[in-house]
Amino acid sequence: MEDEMNTNKNLWKKGVVLAAAATMIAGAVPTVNAFAYGAYDVSKSTFKSDTDNSADFQNWKTNVWWGGEQANADTDKVALTPGTDATGLNFAWYSESKGTPAVMVWKDGAKGAAKVFTGTANDISAENWQGKTYVASNKVSIANYFNENTKYIYQYTDDYKEDGTSVWSAEYSYTTQSTDKFSVILTGDPQVGASGSSSDKQTNDESVARDAYNWNKTMQQALVKCPNAAFLLSAGDQINESNSNTDEVRKTRESEYAGYLYPSVFRSLPIAATIGNHDMNGSDYAAHFNNPNSEENLGQTAAGSDFYFNYGDALFISLNSNNRNQAEHRKLMQEAIASNPDAKWKVVIFHSDIYGSGQPHADTDASTNRIIFAPLMDEFDIDVCLTGHDHTFSRSYQVLDGNVIDYDISSGSVEDPEGTMYITTGSGSGSKYYNLLNYTPYYIAERTNACLPSFSTIDFTDDSFTIKTYDYNGNRYADDFTITKNENAQSVDEVIASAEKLVNSTDVTYTKESMAALTSALDQLKSLKTSSATAEDPMIADIVGNYGTSSDRVSGYGSIKNKEDKDGSVNRFKKGISTLLDKTIYSQVAEGQQAQSDDYTADKAPVVKGMDEAKSAVINAMNALEEAKPEVVKPDGLANEAAEDGNWYYYKDNQIATNCTGVAKNKNGWWRVVNGKVDFNCNSVEKNENGWWYIRGGKVDFNYTGVAKNANGWWRIVNGKVDFNCNSVEKNSNGWWYIRGGKVDFNYTGVAKNANGWWRIVNGKVDFNCNSVEKNHNGWWYIRGGKVDFNYNGIAKNTNGTWYIRGGKVDFSYNGKVKANGKTYRVTNGKVNL
């Protein structure tokens, strides 16, 4: 079957997987699986017998685990745990006497500079099947001491003496790693002691020996794949015995802890172990591990509480999923995030696989815990949630509010995703395996329950999270997967908040067009988000409010206490009680069954499509916003400066007065305005309410005095303005003109005067070629070179005859003789008789 399962090594795209899931026959394990590493019938597993039949195991069990004084099966091995950050390290171990515990540490090769750190010894009373009685749990915490990429040596003692008589342990090494690029190991459910044997709860416990042996092999292989691991993340159920109510079971728990802590790597590799349901009922967990930032006891049960620590740009939060007090978990998470608000990666680990795929728990008791813990992952924008409990491996799609956020992950990666990726670990020791659900939950991207111990390595960089999963032989157990982040990437909520801030801002005004584009994109993104939102779940308040009381509707590790709340014989809340479960369970699963509904199709799954595209559209619209030019209130009249297009405009009520044509003034002068705009091509005489003006290059030329024309004629201009009082003879570049009422009278022919004299006018213009006698209303005049010659006395002719001129004017009163040109002429009434 394994060969058959491995025929398809390529991760299918989401739509194909959902479609495949939709066509599976309810109640049947598929013979061809859509995932790379397959589903197995665990009843056919030979792993336990293969171990028992191994000569290497038998030799180890007899000569190492049970050999000599059975020191390897003792419970006093030191356990390292992470400090509050990478500069710290915590220690815990049991001792048979109580004193002042201490750890001496130094850089490799510099023991002379060793430093001693003392701690506290807490009273305990613990026995194991090897006959040891321990009275103290010793804890030492070191802070602000360790440097990156450095090898240290340490020893510890149960009773430190300043006089130098302390008895120190053997020397062990601890090597720090880089904090900007590092790797960790992930395991789950070693559950030492769970493989079962007839000799359980005895000195020679077969199950503890078997599981410790395989657990050690897993850790050895993990160090081969990840030799520079910074620490181990353990997803709970370190041991198997879940009770602690008798001496016998308490001794068994201690023997199981001896098996869990047996791998020698743990003398050098810190363990961050979350509390599983099998760990929860004894105080031994808290005695064996010295967890950082756990002093407030938030999320506490008998075993211990929540804790957190930082490692470079990554924040790690461990929640005790045995405690359903959501408010306490929220407080711990708030404090954790406040300790590293700019953490690049936020990773949460707890035991219950709230989005897993194992048959016993994923759609039963783990779904109860989903109601409490999934909203916290959404609220705090957790990148990855690591879980265990079902002894099967699975990786989810990106999940947010119960919805799968649709991304193309065919390349084995996703960039800047929304939601949380949920990992469920397989068994770290092979002590117990479970079947997968007989259907594939819509949120599962990959799953397998291949019956071999497994582990994962996780590589962190400043922009990537990569998980790789192996069996304890070093073979691939699942596909690699990577989440990448861009430095300035924002979540959908952050993008919405940024966009709304811009939309509502009064600090900057943007163009109507660019703001309309942003508003439209924002509305689409918000609509997509709200349309997929789960209605408020009343069971959150119910579970939290009644936790630990007689009204609590949940018992144990997510079991449904009351028959009327239960989905028939299936251990989960029935439909209609929890909105989140209605969405994430009953959209796919048949009521009263652990099977897919007959009418289920992929389009019924809560999958949100287009979220990434909608987010990008908002980001693009924000980047494309154009700042509007500040609106300038234009005073009525002609602007004092040119507009951006180079034109000068006349404004009325802050608008260009396109109905305005005339001559208008600004600080630079008076200008010809045509339809609200200065006409710089204008060379004419134009009017406004103050008169008519001589325009040159669009501007009134107040320096001009002369005669200029427009469409209505030629006009006398004095200092740029038409002089309508002018009745004279005036000049321009074309000649001298007869002006009547300020205008050249082209109909006038006669004699007219100006300040310089009287002039012969022909059709309104001085005729400088005229040498004649011409008339006006005052008489007839002697014209010489176009001008009346008032100094002339004599005779002169015109077409009408020859005339007697006296002082330049025909003397019609004269009758007599006149001499001219050497002759004497007879004059009658001013006219010469020739």
Each residue of 143-184: pLDDT tens digit? 999 999 999 999 999 999 999 999 999 999 999 999 999 999
Share of the chain above pLDDT 70, in %: 95
Question: Are 636 and 704 within one domain?
Answer: yes
In a domain, 792, yes or no: yes
Helix/strand/coil for 57:
helix
Which tokens sit at 688? Answer: 């406004």
- CA dist., res. 600 & res. 555, Å (int): 31
Question: Are 739 and 823 within one domain?
Answer: no
- CA dist., res. 491 & res. 378, Å (int): 11
Each residue of 282-314: pLDDT tens digit? 999 999 999 999 999 999 999 999 999 999 999
In a domain, 679, yes or no: yes
Alpha carbon of 173 to those of 80, 238, 290, 291, 628: distances in Å? 11, 24, 19, 20, 65
In a domain, 666, yes or no: yes
Each residue of 764-819: pLDDT tens digit? 999 999 999 999 989 999 999 999 999 999 999 999 999 999 999 999 999 999 99
Mean pLDDT of 519-535: 93
On whether the CB atoms of residues 96 and 134 are closer than 8 A, the answer is: yes
pLDDT at site 72? 81
Domain containing residue 833: CATH number? 2.10.270
Question: Are 714 and 637 within one domain?
Answer: yes
- Give me the chain's average pLDDT, please: 92
Each residue of 412-466: pLDDT tens digit? 999 999 999 999 999 999 999 999 999 999 999 999 999 999 999 999 999 999 9
Question: Are 700 and 803 within one domain?
Answer: no
pLDDT at site 73? 81
Each residue of 351-393: pLDDT tens digit? 999 999 999 999 999 999 999 999 999 999 999 999 999 999 9
**Domain ends where: 693, 713, 746?**
746
Helix/strand/coil for 345:
strand
Which tokens sit at 114? Answer: 């060793």
pLDDT at site 631? 74
pLDDT at site 297? 96
Q: What is the DSSP annotation of 541-570?
A: HHHHHHTTSTT-SEETTTEE--GGGEETTE
Helix/strand/coil for 602:
helix
Q: Which residue has the tokens 């290059």?
A: 697
- CA dist., res. 72 & res. 259, Å (int): 8
On whether the CB atoms of residues 289 and 279 are closer than 8 A, the answer is: no
Identify the CA nearest to 130 among candidates 41, 19, 209.
209
Residues ≥6 apart with Cβ < 8 Å to 510: 502, 518, 625, 626, 627, 628
- CA dist., res. 174 & res. 187, Å (int): 21
In a domain, 323, yes or no: no
Question: Are 725 and 643 within one domain?
Answer: yes
pLDDT at site 518? 96
In a domain, 335, yes or no: no
pLDDT at site 1? 35
In a domain, 21, yes or no: no
Alpha carbon of 454 to those of 87, 161, 257: distances in Å? 30, 44, 20
Pairing between β-strand 314-318 and β-strand 345-349 as defined by DSSP bridges = parallel
Give the CA diameter of the chain: 178
Question: Are 715 and 638 within one domain?
Answer: yes
In a domain, 802, yes or no: yes
H-only helix segments in 226-270: 247-260
Each residue of 70-128: pLDDT tens digit? 778 888 999 999 999 999 999 999 999 999 999 999 999 999 999 999 999 999 999 98
H-run or E-run covering 118: strand 115-118
On whether the CB atoms of residues 4 and 41 are closer than 8 A, the answer is: no
Question: Are 739 and 641 within one domain?
Answer: yes
Mean pLDDT of 620-627: 94
pLDDT at site 197? 63
Helix/strand/coil for 211:
helix
pLDDT at site 221? 98
pLDDT at site 23? 30
Alpha carbon of 436 to those of 358, 382, 395, 418, 604: distances in Å? 4, 26, 13, 27, 22
Tell whether the torsion through CA atoms of 649, 650, 652 and 656 is positive or negative: negative
Question: Are 636 and 720 within one domain?
Answer: yes
Residue 666's Cβ-side half-sphere holds a number of Cα atoms within 13 Å equal to: 21
Question: Are 742 and 653 within one domain?
Answer: yes
| Helix, strand, coil shares, percent, the chain, to 5 | 20, 30, 45
Question: Are 730 and 670 within one domain?
Answer: yes
On whether the CB atoms of residues 727 and 739 are closer than 8 A, the answer is: yes
pLDDT at site 11? 29
- CA dist., res. 360 & res. 424, Å (int): 13
Each residue of 175-215: pLDDT tens digit? 999 999 999 999 999 999 999 865 566 677 889 999 999 99
Q: How deeply is 627 buried, as exposed, middle or buried, from its count of CB atoms within 10 A (0-12, 13-18, 19+)?
A: exposed
Alpha carbon of 777 to those of 89, 752, 753, 781: distances in Å? 126, 9, 12, 11
Tell whether the torsion through CA atoms of 18, 20, 23 and 25 is positive or negative: negative
**Domain ends where: 684, 713, 746?**
746
On whether the CB atoms of residues 828 and 815 are closer than 8 A, the answer is: yes
- Please state the domain count of the chain: 2
Each residue of 536-581: pLDDT tens digit? 999 999 999 999 999 999 999 999 999 999 999 999 999 999 999 9
In a domain, 682, yes or no: yes
- CA dist., res. 357 & res. 686, Å (int): 91
Residues ≥6 apart with Cβ < 8 Å to 94: 75, 76, 124, 126, 134, 136, 137, 138, 287, 288
pLDDT at site 27? 31
Question: Are 792 and 691 within one domain?
Answer: no
pLDDT score of 9 more than 60? no
Note down the domain range covering 816. 771-834
Which tokens sit at 668? Answer: 């630079």
Number of Cβ within 10 Å of residue 169's Cβ equals 15
Question: Are 735 and 785 within one domain?
Answer: no
Share of the chain above pLDDT 90, in %: 86
pLDDT score of 8 more than 50? no
On whether the CB atoms of residues 234 and 42 are closer than 8 A, the answer is: no
DSSP character for 200? -
Identify the CA nearest to 802 among candidates 779, 820, 785.
820
| Angle made by CA atoms 412, 432, 589, in degrees to the nearest 5 | 60
Each residue of 717-774: pLDDT tens digit? 999 999 999 999 998 989 999 999 999 999 999 999 999 999 999 999 999 999 999 9
**Domain ends where: 746, 779, 806?**
746
